[in-house]
Amino acid sequence: MNAITSKFPTAALIDGTWVTAQKSFSVSDPATGEEIARVPDLGADDARRAIDAAAKAFPAWAATPAKARAQILERWFDLITAETEALAQLMTAEQGKPLAEARGEVAYGASFIEWFAEEGKRAYGRTIPTTVASRRYITIKQPIGVVAAITPWNFPIAMITRKVASALAAGCTIVVKPSEETPLCALAVAKLAMDAGVPPGVFNVITSADAASVGNVLTSDPRVRKLTFTGSTEIGRLLYRQCADTIKKLTLELGGNAPLIVFDDADLKQAIAGTMASKYRNAGQTCVCANRIIVQAGIYERFTAALVDAVSSLHVAPGRDPRSTIGPLINADAAKKVESLISDAVSHGAKIRTGGAPDTQGALFYQPTVVTEVTPDMKIAQEEIFGPVASLIRFETEADAIRIANDTPFGLAAYLFTQNIGRVWRVAEALESGMVGVNEGVFSNEVAPFGGVKQSGLGREGAAEGLEEYLETKFICLGGIS
């Protein structure tokens, strides 16, 4: 354990107790490959213990007044905000993103806690006009019960707070299984939740390198009434199947293949800024990254030249370097995938305009890259890149852009840049995606719903819709009224 990790736990959390185990696994810095901590490698029995704790804690937490729950969440928000720098340093150490981005994620993650602290007090039911004079109809909202959350490595704080804050605000209890790549951030925010007054058993964290066996427990136990998962579509399908026998409510935030369309009439400076923000944030490792940059023929060459110029100014370095704007990829498999997609594209006629090779900083660093003359049938346009690579596709007409953008089984995010208000409406409505950024490259925030259509998932997180995902509507018919 080093100074960065010494401030927060390296043990799992079950029923308010920090749990160790004989078996452990290593957490490494992707920039250097050095071990920064070891955490317990828990298994199926530990997952069941965590569910036991959550089930035991649920009745009292559900009965806690919404205002009292909100006050605890508000303290949690304050504690996370106060520890921004320590949490950012921890995140950069285990995930690799530049410190400036890590600080931004801490604030982003905390924003969901603040939002749901307030929104939980607004889980309103309604009265319904009666159909019979002797009856009255009302609905109430109640927490769904025990929730299981499986979270990814690319936003190791925000993807937890977005789920946990909404669940706790609704009155649910939760068991979180964080990615084995980034468990330390999960344990850190859980510790701050305990410090804020979250009761034992309400928030549990299972660290494990055996995702399959822990996931099987979380999906098969009937006491778990809801599963929320952010990750790949492949794993999402598997979890969907596993939840079928117990008919769990599901929120699935899955893969993307986001189109970013630049029309001839776009403000070039605005389009470049939006593309850079969308594509190269977190070294391209976000599910809403622009994966296919679809540029109209009349602006294609000017856009390419300006993008290459902007990309050339990015600085590849370990995230702790204050100059870093591109950190490492998360692991060797990620690096191999990026290299494979670029190799395939070049073999089919694509041109590398800048980058296109591993960086000298280390094994997991990749040069920020621009690839032109990409066609929609290439693998780089069909698969999620998850790396700092912009692939540019040329189009002629608005109809072509919409057809190319929608030619994917995914539908999470989409972007378009134009100064034509009529085109804004036509294209935004025609795009098959759950979210559309118009002249903006980054749009996610706590007050707006986040989620996709098609094979990008089910349900929404954030906003009022995010709270609804953790509530059941109960209809009450009052009879015998005269």
For 58-85, write each residue's pLDDT tens digit.
999 999 999 999 999 999 999 999 999 9
Confidence grade of residue 1 (pLDDT, cut at 50, 70, 90): low
Decide: 149 and 174 in contact? Cβ < 8 Å.
Answer: yes
Q: Is the pLDDT of residue 2 over 90?
A: no
pLDDT of amino acid 332 = 96
State the catalytic residues.
Answer: 253, 287
What percent of the chain is predicted at pLDDT more than 90? 98
Residue carrying the six token digits 């190269």? 280
Q: Is the pLDDT of residue 479 over 80?
A: yes
The pair phi, psi for residue 134, each rounded to 5°, is: -90, 5
The pair phi, psi for residue 83, each rounded to 5°, is: -105, 25
Confidence grade of residue 6 (pLDDT, cut at 50, 70, 90): confident
**Three-class secondary structure of residue 296 per DSSP:** strand
> Looking at residues 113-120, what average pLDDT do you find?
98
> Looking at residues 300-326, what average pLDDT do you find?
97
**Three-class secondary structure of residue 30 per DSSP:** coil
Residue type present at position 335:
A
Which residues are registered as beta bridge partners of 157?
none
pLDDT of amino acid 211 = 95
Decide: 172 and 200 in contact? Cβ < 8 Å.
Answer: no
Q: Is the pLDDT of residue 154 over 90?
A: yes
As a whole number, the mean pLDDT across the chain is 97
> Looking at residues 205-211, what average pLDDT do you find?
97
Residues whose CB falls within 8 Å of the CB of residue 442, separated by 6 or more in sequence, listed in order: 274, 277, 278, 281
Residues whose CB falls within 8 Å of the CB of residue 99, separated by 6 or more in sequence, listed in order: 88, 89, 92, 319, 320, 322, 324
CA 141 to chain centre: 26
pLDDT of amino acid 234 = 96
Q: Is the pLDDT of residue 122 over 90?
A: yes
Decide: 397 and 222 in contact? Cβ < 8 Å.
Answer: no
Confidence grade of residue 408 (pLDDT, cut at 50, 70, 90): very high
Residue type present at position 249:
K
Predicted TM-score (pTM) of this structure: 0.96
- Sorted by where each starts, the structural domains of the chain and their CATH numbers stand as 12-254+456-475 (3.40.605.10), 258-445 (3.40.309.10)
Q: Is the pLDDT of residue 482 over 70?
A: yes
User: Strands 369-374 and 389-395, how do they pair?
Assistant: parallel
**Three-class secondary structure of residue 471 per DSSP:** strand
pLDDT of amino acid 453 = 98
Percent of residues in the chain assigned helix, strand, coil, to nearest 5: 40, 25, 35
pLDDT tens digit sequence for 335-386:
999 999 999 999 999 999 999 999 999 999 999 999 999 999 999 999 999 9
